[in-house]
Amino acid sequence: MTSGERRSDPMPSLTERELRQQPEAWQWVLDHAPAMLAALGDMSDGAGEFVFCGCGSAYHVALSCAIAFRACGIRARAQTSSEAYLFADASRSWRGSTIVAVSRSGETSETVFALRHAVSQGAKGIAMTCAPDSTLARAAPASLVLDGLNEQSVITTKSVTGMILASLIGAEMLSQGCSGAQAISLGGLPGQCRSALTAAKALVESAFDSENIRQCAFLGAGPLWGVANEARLKMQEMALVPSAASATLEFRHGPMAQCGPHMLVVAMVSQQAFEAEVSVLRDLAKLGGRIFAICERASPELNQSARFVVELQSGLPDHLRQPLYLPPAHLLALQAALRRGLEPDSPPHLARSVILPQ
């Protein structure tokens, strides 16, 4: 298959099937995660700080989890797993902290190493994984096993968004409704995910219909930084398009030099900084950038600057809306891959888990 040629195979790829299963996967999380999280109550009691760690997509889950916890007044941060054990801060004690080690497969070596190191230094340890019999689950003192999110594909989609949703539920439960979060129902998210996928389907073919698109920029800030990075990674993994993520307003400070008609700008627009972020998109549109915006609700100015707009219309604040931004980005990366004649189920050089020698 040559670049730009459409795939004739009517059967969707495994990756596509799993990314389209996200509404059902999210419903599974809503049905099962609260009881699982309640069972971990003793592990989180008295935690001075939650440290979420992971590699690749799991690190982006960790970023989103930490954002959700901090939004509810709970001390939390995210690290890559390798940083957690190779670059341990001598001035920061693990004692009194809870490490939450995130890995879909539970076999990612760096994440297993990080968990073991932190627990050996006095941390409480929780594995968040989709694989109950994995090395990580066996090594952890306690586990949140979201086996209803497990995937066969190399590319992670529903496991990522489902784990982020589980963290939103956990933060809500621990915070006991701080900032009004408890009053906001997450039960509508599966239906909103379905609507977002439908809305994006009508746009992604047009968004990536040009052979002139040679690079992508993914913009997101504050509570949307984690999902912007994850959307960037999906484009790199599935479509092999050179891509970078930037905090939205930071894009003016250097990366904007690359902007032009050859660039697709995918913007995760927040409500908290809506006007400031839309002003960046206006500037990029003037430079010829092709803007694909995902937002809660659009404004006339955003509609004028962006060629493509997906409105989520969830009624949720930014930090609770995190998982909704990713399904449209998944479809965009899938379309880019197919447009370039690539098979998303077979990304070069990648495997489901990175396993290193002990």
Q: What is the pLDDT of residue 90?
A: 55
Residues ≥6 apart with Cβ < 8 Å to 216: 232, 235, 241, 242, 243, 244, 263, 264, 265, 266
pLDDT at 46: 66
Quick one: pLDDT at residue 93? 76
What's the confidence (pLDDT) of residue 264?
A: 97
Tokens standing for 305? Answer: 């600057």
Fold match between 14-183 and 189-339?
Answer: yes
Which residue's structure tokens are 């497990």?
150
Residue 167: closest CA among 226, 93, 116: 226
> Consecutive sets of 10 residues in the chain, 358 residues long: mean pLDDT of each?
47 94 98 93 75 98 97 94 84 83 97 96 96 97 97 97 96 70 74 98 87 92 98 97 98 97 97 98 97 98 98 96 98 95 92 82
User: According to the CATH classification, is domain 189-339 in 3.40.50.1820?
Assistant: no
Q: Is the pTM of this model over 0.85?
A: yes
What homologous superfamily is domain 14-183 in, according to CATH? Glucose-6-phosphate isomerase like protein; domain 1 (3.40.50.10490)
Q: Where are the domains of the chain?
A: 14-183, 189-339
Give residue 1's pLDDT.
41
